[in-house]
Amino acid sequence: MNKIQIKSIYKKNSKIYVKPSYGQYEMIYRAAKGVYWDKTEKAFYMNDLIDEKDVILNIKVALKQEYGIELLE
């Protein structure tokens, strides 16, 4: 299984963004976890959750499900 590291976590426009160390993950929405990819920020984000831990957990699940990649903190 491939692994990627979280490069940064930040808030912008009332959303929590999680930026991976590399890659483009535009199809992450297909995992049906409410996780999306922002092309401009090159980062994952969620609309519904404001708790950082919940956002990271959902991104980890979606990334593993859709791409077979483990996200490391």
Are 18 and 73 spatial neighbours (Cβ–Cβ below 8 Å)?
Answer: no
pLDDT digit string (tens) for 6-31? 999 999 888 899 999 999 999 999 98
- Predicted TM-score of the model (pTM): 0.88
Torsion (CA) 25, 31, 36, 40 in degrees, nearest 10:
10
Are 19 and 7 spatial neighbours (Cβ–Cβ below 8 Å)?
Answer: yes
